[in-house]
Amino acid sequence: VTFAEPFCPTLSDLLLSSAHELGDVKVHEGGTYVCIEGPLFSTKAESIVYRSWGMDIIGMTALPEAKLAREAELCYAMVACATDYDCWHESEESVTVEMVVGNLSANVANAQRILRSVAQKIPADRSANTCECPSALSTAIMTERSRIPAEAKEKYSLLIGKYLS
């Protein structure tokens, strides 16, 4: 399953345009996300390494979900709401749980507004999608179909049934 671009471009465009339409939400398009294990805060050394790699945002979710969504042929995109500067930033105060929770709470209302707007724009008919998400598994099954056990076909029919007939 291809994963060069982990987020659905169609859904990402909808999220971006909806955020811009709100007018009062600060939006950044693009960037490179590093997914770390958490919940935890980075050490200063880790933070400096991520910056040296060109990372724009550090998070603890999104990537595992994006991989699972792609393998389930679901459109998936991310609205990343910043809660703090990582500890590399010399002029900002150190990250605290209180800071993160406070900023997160402030971000929730904007995220909800964006999602309400996007939900009204997602086409009900997935065949209208211009993305490749609905067919991500089309070349993923390498086993000769006749060699796939009936139990496996049944077990995974929800995900790959359309490719087994």
The number of CA neighbours under 13 Å toward the Cβ of 38 is 15
Q: What is the Cα–Cα distance from 164 to 147, expressed in whole angstroms? A: 11
Q: Is 56 a catalytic residue?
A: no
Q: What is the Cα–Cα distance from 100 to 80, expressed in whole angstroms? A: 13
> Which amino acid is it at 10?
T
Under DSSP, the state recorded for 43 is: P
Q: What is the Cα–Cα distance from 135 to 70, expressed in whole angstroms? A: 9
- Active-site hit among 13, 24, 56, 86: 86
- Active-site hit among 13, 24, 56, 84: 84
Q: Is 125 a catalytic residue?
A: no
Residues with catalytic annotation?
Answer: 84, 86
